[in-house]
Amino acid sequence: MSRGKVNPWLWVAGIVLLATLIALPFGLSFSQREVAVLLVINVLLVSSYRLMTLTGEWSLGHVVIMGVGAYASALFSKRLGVPVPISMLLGAVTAGAVAALLSFPLFRMKGFYFLIGSFAAGEVIRLIWKYFTNPFGGPKGLKLIPGFPDIGPISFFEPLPYYYLCLIVVGMSLFFLYRIERSRIGLTFHAIHWQDKLAESVGVNTFSYRMLAFVLASTFAGLCGALYVHYIGTINPNRFDVEEMVFVLIWAIVGGTATFYGPILGVVVLTVINEVILRALGFDTARPMIYGFILIASVLFLPNGLESLVPKLQAWRTSRRTAPEGTPASEEKA
């Protein structure tokens, strides 16, 4: 975990990235702009998922937790008339609170059992949505959910303004997630992942930290759900089923989870492949199959994810620019 000394190239890269992100929608068609909105939301979804995995536990409930944020924000705004920006925050908080409650049964389990437990917990929540027509709308879900309010002449009904809104919210959230990981808390999360017994022996309360990671990750997942629902305007329980969770897992695995940017690479690359290539070829309905194929290919040929290409690229660049010294960038791993 190296810190300090910010590379000036990083600033340049950051500014270029920001400019690209701002300019991006102008090069896109209407439907591609809609995809870009969802992509930005998914970037936060998979990044928040990674925060959870830092303590070593992989959950299958993350998309359902996103749904908790979506349902909560939809209901707060539609039923109780809470202004949408506030209902979004309340949705995020609700998702975090549900995670806090789930921590007590779930963190009695570890590894595979946790995975199955989190899946079961998610299915129970989805059953609740399906069963209780009031207030959750049953299997058909909720419709006519209020959108984000206009600000002056800007209507967030259009994908372009909503894209920028999401960009700001997601950008701030990513910064927060990044800070968490770089802080002592992040170091402690990693420590619990690698050696929970040793961590406990020096006084780290592993349950509290696992719960903290879960609650924080879920809060941001809930925010994703809220951003999603006030854009799409309708939700139903099947939007948050296990197939969607599998997509999140594939983004994370294909991108790699050792670095902060790994899962982001995963979701961006897979979405672009899906949209640009598949849609152009006319078989975008084959998404699950294509994703499955990419997953298998990446596990076979790129077991450490797309992120593992970055240090290799850097080493290749420096070896070209300077005299060959053979120093691979080994500081990438957090």
CB 232 within 8 A of CB 34: no
Per CB under 8 A, 333 contacts another protein: yes
Per CB under 8 A, 1 contacts another protein: yes
Provide the token pair at 252.
């994370």
Contacts of 273 (CB under 8 A, 6+ apart): 290, 294
Per CB under 8 A, 44 contacts another protein: no
CB closer to another protein out of 190 and 287: 190
CB closer to another protein out of 187 and 232: 187
CB closer to another protein out of 190 and 279: 190
Could you give the string, one character per residue 128-167, with x where binding to another protein holds by CB under 8 A and - elsewhere?
A: ----------------------------------------
Binders of another protein in range 56-115 (CB under 8 A): none
Distances (CA, A) of 84 to 129, 151, 220, 230, 239: 21, 12, 17, 8, 21
Find the binder of another protein among 188, 218, 219, 298 (CB under 8 A): 188
CB of 194 to another protein, least distance (A): 5
Per CB under 8 A, 4 contacts another protein: no
Distances (CA, A) of 147 to 67, 103, 113, 240: 17, 32, 39, 20
Could you give the string, one character per residue 192-231, with x where binding to another protein holds by CB under 8 A and - elsewhere?
A: --xx-xxxxxxxxxx-----x-------------------
CB 230 within 8 A of CB 144: no
CA 244 to chain centre: 12
The conformation of residue 276, written as its DSSP 8-state character, comes to I
Per CB under 8 A, 185 contacts another protein: yes
Q: How many Å apart are CA 262 and CA 28, to the nearest integer? A: 25
CB of 304 to another protein, least distance (A): 14
* Angle separating helix axes 30-53 and 62-78, nearest 10 degrees: 120
CB closer to another protein out of 154 and 204: 204
| Numbers of helices and strands, H then E, in the chain | 15, 0
Contacts of 334 (CB under 8 A, 6+ apart): 1, 181, 186, 190, 258, 259, 260
CB closer to another protein out of 195 and 238: 195
- Region binding another protein by CB under 8 A among candidate stretches 112-120, 121-129, 146-154, 174-182: 174-182
Which spans of this chain sit near another protein (rule: CB under 8 A)? 1, 176, 179-180, 183-185, 187-188, 190-191, 194-195, 197-206, 212, 333
